[in-house]
Amino acid sequence: MNDLLGHELRKALSDPSNYGSGSRKNEQAGAAASSTGDLFDDWVNEVEPHGMVSTKEAKKEYFLTTADLATLSYESYGGGIGCGPPTKCYLHKDLVKTSVRKHGRAGVVKKLEARNKREEKKRMKEEQAEQARKRLKTITNTTADGAAAATASDTQEVKRLREGLLKMAKQNMGFETSGAPKNWKIEVPGISKATFAALVGRPTDVDLESFVKNGAYYKEKYEASKLFRTDEAQLTKDFNRECVTQNIGPYVSVRYKPSTMELSISGYAEMYATMAYRLFGSSDF
């Protein structure tokens, strides 16, 4: 491992002062460190020492904050007019060194273990939800009225709700200060479990057994055209002054909190220039 890391990183990892209260001071601590060594080593060697990591991943994977990253050198990629600010990327070896200095080796291991437990718990919930979806599909396909239930039209309440949600989504589309299309989000109170289930295509799952619940929320990644029950042509908004058209992205995030009956939907937009269409009537722009 050490051969890969370089002099500065080896120094940070070997310096006992960086390990805080987690330093190995006796045989028992040494045995504990050995049992977690693979986890730490895998984390260190997951990326090449000179590999570049984006700001978002740096915070998530190395347990760092904006203030921590402010002390590190970085390279900028992308950005430009209409594309938002450039992405800052940091060296993996610098992020590892900074994380170990901040949390200590034992502290990093503890955070890695906690994250693994969360991911395992999430995986189990997803498996349970998948089994529930399979049971739901079997019941739908085999019961006398299953086929009708699977293809039934929305109730008038759900149909009006879809239309209202699309209108609200378009109203919240716009621009960042950089000129890039901004992300949008809408919130609607008073939504029942049955209505939420119907919105995301499972009207018979009124107990939400086929959904994964994280904390107080159910969260689904869902196709925008299916959520709003319309074709892609209706998922656009023209900005005539800017001579561009924004399209709602193909997928949206749907969150539902049953304890308060709150529904929230968020998404992003893709932007296309439309000036050529108006000037030349060209579809090849």
Residue 62 maps to a domain: yes
Q: Distance (Å, rounded) from C-alpha 219 to C-alpha 96?
A: 32
Please check whether residues 110 and 162 belong to one and the same domain: no
Residue 95 maps to a domain: yes
Under 8 Å between Cβ of 254 and 165: no
What is the tens place of the pLDDT at every residue in 143-191? 444 434 444 578 999 999 999 999 999 999 999 888 889 999 999 999 9
- Please give the angle made by the CA atoms of 87, 46 and 79, to the nearest 5 degrees: 10
Q: Distance (Å, rounded) from C-alpha 252 to C-alpha 270?
A: 13
Please check whether residues 166 and 219 belong to one and the same domain: yes
What is the tens place of the pLDDT at every residue in 47-81? 998 899 999 999 999 999 999 999 999 999 887 66
Domain termination residue (choose one: 101, 121, 141): 121
Contacts of 130 (CB under 8 A, 6+ apart): none
Best mean pLDDT range from 89-98, 146-155, 200-209: 89-98
Q: Kind of pairing, strands 269-273 and 262-267?
A: unpaired
Number of domains in the chain: 2
Please check whether residues 185 and 71 belong to one and the same domain: no
Q: Distance (Å, rounded) from C-alpha 96 to C-alpha 192?
A: 46
Domain termination residue (choose one: 121, 147, 180): 121
Domain that holds residue 205: 156-280
Residue 149 maps to a domain: no
Per-residue confidence (pLDDT) for residue 214, from 0 to 100: 85
Please check whether residues 7 and 60 belong to one and the same domain: yes
Domain termination residue (choose one: 121, 146, 165): 121
Predicted confidence band at 196 (pLDDT cuts at 50, 70, 90)? very high
Give the pair of three-digit tokens for residue 112.
């890695």
- Overall average pLDDT of the 96-118 stretch: 94
Give the pair of three-digit tokens for residue 161.
């709700």
What is the tens place of the pLDDT at every residue in 6-42? 444 444 444 544 444 433 434 444 444 445 568 899 9
CA-closest candidate to residue 213, choices 229, 196, 225, 230: 196
Contacts of 112 (CB under 8 A, 6+ apart): 39, 40, 43
Please check whether residues 170 and 73 belong to one and the same domain: no
What is the tens place of the pLDDT at every residue in 3-14? 444 444 444 444
CA-closest candidate to residue 271, choices 76, 84, 88: 84
